[in-house]
Amino acid sequence: MKNQSTKTIQKHEATDLPSALIDIPQLINGKKPAVFLDYDGCLSPIVKDPDKAVMTQEMRDTLQRLASVCSVAVVSGRDRANVEKLVQLDNLYYAGSHGFDISGPNNMHTEPGGASEAVPALDKAQKTLDERLKDVEGVLVERKRYAIAVHYRNVPDDQVSKVLQVTEGVIAEHPELKKGPGKKIMELKPNLDWHKGKAVRWLMNELDLNKPDIVPLYIGDDITDEDAFAELQGEGIGIMVGEHDDKTAAEYRLEDVTDVLAFLEALTQTIKSQQDV
């Protein structure tokens, strides 16, 4: 694992980044990509109800074709079983709960981050959040295997500050947990040195992808994806979908899920063309 403190991470305004669609052959420069990507906001649009974030069959078919020519992993804050059920492809790797729970072909299943230590604290925090936020309209306290997501996208503006204050208060009561920001979400995560970037690195090592002829490529839309962008900066390709409330360590961007689909289709064709040479 590379020590992030020894390298300077370059941050950019997402709107200043060049499109990843401009010249894909030049982007991967003759190398074979290993593709890592988030689910919500990348494979499916962001929706008010997380259970309705459904991927299109066209996107599923494209992912399947891409996975037939290179390694593909979905790295999500969702539970691993949940994102696996949404994608419905058995030739992909799945890193759920921000990489604490990983599965893949050939019966791969591991939990490399040590998150099980935080389960009792998560159980207690969930009960407290349910009680303290029960009267807030539109709030959703979503329990995951190794996290709790407090969604406030549907909360009235004058109640958002209460949701954030209550959630931060509960986090403060449990030193085993830490805050994880997102788009209209505040997460309670295990207070461990593990994140999407480390999960990507773990997969690269496990799948023997640290080779000169392979380029890792990460597509994400959220603040939680910044750890992966930073991890790969200087050796891989970070692609930001849309924008969030901060600068990004990605070097390229795509506008939306439609752009992601076009990019994955073109990337698949580029890889096939390289193989035919």
Q: Taking Cα atoms as reference points, which of 72, 176, 70, 172 lies closest to residue 129? A: 172
Dist. CA 200–CA 34, nearest whole Å: 10
DSSP 8-state symbol, 73: E
The two tokens of residue 94 are 């799945």
Residue 170: alpha-carbon gap to chain centroid? 24
Backbone angles phi, psi at 19, to 5 degrees: -70, 140
Active-site residue, from 38, 79, 222, 227:
38
């040590």: which residue's tokens? 114
Respond yes or no: is residue 38 known to be catalytic.
Answer: yes
Residue 143: alpha-carbon gap to chain centroid? 17
Cα 22–Cα 54–Cα 141 angle in degrees, nearest 5: 115
> Catalytic residues, which ones?
38
